[in-house]
Amino acid sequence: MTEPIRRPVSQLRAGDLIALDDEGTALVVCAVSQPLGASRRVELAEASTGRPVPWVRLDLHEAVLTLPGRARWVVATDAQGHAEQLVAGDDFQASAGDGRSYAWWPVEVDPLSRPGWEELRRGPRRDEASAA
């Protein structure tokens, strides 16, 4: 996918990068509750920070802008060894001078996971040198 296109919410899959409007924030679709139906829900995260976006409610028949790029796992580890896992897009921006190290993993889509129907999971580890 090279250009942004409009797609209905019913066609979204885990791992898609979307925006709610033309100038909107890029979001990652982290999980989809079921394959079809009016009660289908999606979980979203902000692509540049990896933080969850709990306040967006998408109607099944709404159209969203699908953006180019891929979702990925970002693991931020602080000086004490505490790790935080985030799902983010290619434009994830690490805070400069925050004392954390970052590692990236590609995502895989698990179509039969529980409790969600489809959600992201970590794939094999990606070497930081090859990611740069």
Per domain, the residue ranges of the chain are 5-93
Exposed/middle/buried for 20, CB within 10 Å: 0-12, 13-18, 19+? middle
Alpha helices in 21-127 (DSSP H): none
With contact defined as beta carbons under 8 Å apart, do 10 and 36 qualify? yes
The fold of the 5-93 domain, in CATH, is: SH3 type barrels. (2.30.30)
* Per-residue confidence in pLDDT tens, the chain, 132 aa: 457 788 888 888 899 999 988 888 999 999 888 777 777 788 899 999 999 998 877 777 788 999 998 899 998 898 898 998 899 998 887 777 778 888 888 888 887 766 678 888 887 765 543 444
Q: What is the pLDDT of residue 113?
A: 67
Q: What is the pLDDT of residue 117?
A: 83
Tokens of 106: 């590609």
Q: What is the pLDDT of residue 16?
A: 93
Alpha helices in 1-132 (DSSP H): 128-131
With contact defined as beta carbons under 8 Å apart, do 31 and 42 qualify? yes
